[in-house]
Homo-oligomer: A and B are copies of this chain.
Amino acid sequence: MTDAPVRVVVADDQAAIRTGLVLILGSAPGIEVVAEAADGLGAVAEAVRLRPDVVLMDIRMPGIDGIEATRRLVGDGVCDVLVLTTFDLDDYIDDALAAGAAGFLLKTVEAPALIAAVRSVARGDGVLAPEVTRRVLARLPAPTAPAPAQVPGLDELTAREREILGCLGEGLSNAEIAARLVITEATTKTHVSRVLTKLGLRSRVQAAIAARSAGLAG
């Protein structure tokens, strides 16, 4: 299983860098560079044709850039992409990751780390350059709780009350909620009151905020 070589396409518009990358990867056992490309379109074409395990993708390239090429390859499920760039810019990182890149490295990477990164991506894992990892981590303060955002009494709500809360999160008035749920406005008010009491809130505005942070509304 592990003896099948990792097939890689290298895409970079600068011939010198491209050659260097090819040499580094080619020298690694178990890694085979099957094609090179000098622009985004070429990278996509070669990847579609050869179905490599990994595309090592530069960002700044003529025509469509590495980000767009990554988006296409990942979007179509062609292969994994390891983005490699000279510039440690947040925008690049965000765009690359949003495009679905499996990894993001800087060109300051040493050869052994590059080789390890390619192997990781081929294995289905991900890679982040240490220089950017901390910044990425810092911007993910709520990975464990975006959906179940802490709303203390949320679990005490009945299904109906949760429904009410969802409506509140959409900014509906009592009359609108009543119409949607086919109940009287008086009943709606009762539910709203219960929701507020159970959640310890003082107004429907706060309930709306809670509802949205809990993911109960758009």
Contacts and interface: CB of A to CB of B under 8 A. Distances in A.
Interface stretch (A49-57, A120-128, A151-159): A120-128
A100 to B, nearest CB: 9
A31 to B, nearest CB: 16
A124 B138 CA distance: 13
B128 A120 contact: no
B143 A94 contact: yes
A205 to B, nearest CB: 4
A105 to B, nearest CB: 12
At the interface, is chain A mostly helix, strand, loop or mixed? Answer: helix
Contact of A98 (B95, B135, B141): B141
A130 B131 CA distance: 15
Q: For this complex, into which size category does the number of interface residues on chain A fall? A: 35 or more
* Listed residue (A134, A135, A170) with the most chain B CB atoms within 10 angstroms of its CB: A134
A77 B98 CA distance: 32
Interface stretch (A15-23, A58-66, A206-214): A206-214
23 contacts: A94-B143, A98-B141, A102-B137, A103-B133, A112-B112, A113-B116, A117-B130, A120-B130, A124-B134, A126-B135, A126-B136, A126-B137, A128-B133, A128-B137, A139-B143, A140-B140, A169-B209, A171-B203, A171-B206, A171-B209, A173-B203, A204-B205, A212-B212
